[in-house]
């Protein structure tokens, strides 16, 4: 039923709370898991980084992508120890848009992610990645509302 499950992570502990659900589904269906992270990329912007001082958006996103790949690789190794088939993928862009684009170009059968549960002004200002994915991805989406850390 679900040959490939895309697990969307954003680097936060809250987003990782979807992993037990996705890994249980993968174990039951013999599914492959794709751990995915969209790397925010806004060209033409200069940002302050903790380690490198001022950097262009390209430099900052490259650094963030390296860290994300390392983090996802560690999570993949942990899931692999449980006998699950796991791949990792990072894509630069606006996270909600690259998630939908990735789903359209890859053979994804289920998207698993958390929502931060913003409402009112917070949701209007920050938007909702989960809401965008549910409305625009042509695949089923498993949404988990995480427990606050």
pLDDT band at 42; cut points 50, 70, 90: low
Domain boundaries, the chain: 4-144
Digit-coded pLDDT (tens) for 120-145:
554 444 458 999 999 999 999 999 98
Digit-coded pLDDT (tens) for 69-122:
999 999 999 999 999 999 999 999 889 999 999 999 999 999 999 987 555 554
35-71 core/surface letters (b: 16 or more CB in 10 A; e: else)? bbbbbebeeeeeeeeeeeeebebeebbeebbeebbeb
Q: Measuring CA to CA, how many Å separate 135 from each of 30, 72, 98, 130, 142?
A: 27, 26, 14, 9, 13
What are the two backbone dihedrals, phi and then psi, of residue 68, each rounded to the nearest 5 degrees? -65, -45
- The reported pLDDT for the residue numbered 148 is 74
**Distance separating alpha carbons of residues 141 and 137, to the nearest angstrom:** 8
**Distance separating alpha carbons of residues 45 and 14, to the nearest angstrom:** 27
4-144: which CATH topology? Rossmann fold (3.40.50)
- Closest alpha carbon to 36 in 71, 8, 76, 78: 8
* Average pLDDT over every residue of 35-50: 71
């Amino acid at each position: 039923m679900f040959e490939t499950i895309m697990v969307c992570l954003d680097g936060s502990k809250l987003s990782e709370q979807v992993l037990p659900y996705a890994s249980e589904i993968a174990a039951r269906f013999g599914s492959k898991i794709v751990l995915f992270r969209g790397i925010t990329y806004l060209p033409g912007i200069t940002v302050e980084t903790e380690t490198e001082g001022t950097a262009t958006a390209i430099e900052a996103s490259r650094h963030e992508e390296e860290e994300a790949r390392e983090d996802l690789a560690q999570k993949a190794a942990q899931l692999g120890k449980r006998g699950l088939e796991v791949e990792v993928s990072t894509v630069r862009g606006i996270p909600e848009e690259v998630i939908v684009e990735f789903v359209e170009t890859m053979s994804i059968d289920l998207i698993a992610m958390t929502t931060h549960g913003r409402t009112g002004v917070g949701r209007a200002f920050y938007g909702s990645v989960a809401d965008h994915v549910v409305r625009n991805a042509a695949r089923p989406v498993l949404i988990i509302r995480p427990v606050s850390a």
